[in-house]
Amino acid sequence: MQITGDIDANSARQLTETVASLAAVPPQADLDTVIIDLSQVSALAAAGSSALNASAQACRGRLAVRVVATGLILRSIQLTGLDHLAVHPCLEDALAASRASRPGDLACTLSAWPTHVLITVDGECDITTAQRLHDALLSPQSRRALRVIVSLAGLSFLDSTGVYTLLSARSALAHDGAELVLAAPRPSVSRVLALVGANRLLDVYPTLAQAIPGG
């Protein structure tokens, strides 16, 4: 769904009601993701932030929620504590990531910002999918950045191959003068990182906002 203009109290209520109705669709329906496109929104007030949070709560355990946002709207999401949501820089990235909701799949979407490169990882990272993560981490954009942030909020599974991919990319990026940091891992992913000691070699931030320079 695409929203334009400002999100006021009325449009916020409509957003919440629409998403809640989608979340109520029977599980057997061919619907697993809700994409909220805020790329045409000019301002995100408190009502809008509350609507996004309520939408995510309504979908929990039923549908994945993905948000498209850039610029000031992205910053508002970060500052209002909503960075646990899966946020994408454009609709195409959100659509690509939604295809990773199938078990065993992985999507890595990359966006370049003035201070960093953001890689949003969704799905499962194991020996069969780690190459996709490797390619994103060592992309030309990443190797030109000062900081590469890997958002793990959408990563549901990480095995030793994925951990090795992160660590080897850290070394390669450091050689190019880039810093690799992780953000918002789920508890299950955090446990894997701690189990192999990777959390002592990689900077891990609890939220995406804290990982962004100046955040």
Express each pLDDT in 85-125 by its tens digit.
Answer: 777 777 777 776 666 556 678 888 787 777 888 888 888 99
Q: Kindly report which listed range (9-13, 93-97, 127-131, 156-160) carries the lowest average pLDDT score.
A: 93-97
Tokens 């609890």, residue?
A: 206
Percent of the chain residues past pLDDT 70, beyond the cut: 87
What domains can be seen in the chain, in order of their start residue?
1-101 (3.30.750.24), 103-215 (3.30.750.24)
Choose between 141 and 138: higher pLDDT.
Answer: 138
Q: Which of 186, 33, 25, 20 is nearest to 101 (CA)?
A: 33
Sign of CA dihedral 160, 165, 170, 171: positive
pTM: predicted TM-score of the whole model, two decimal places: 0.60
Q: According to the model, what pLDDT value does residue 87 have?
A: 78
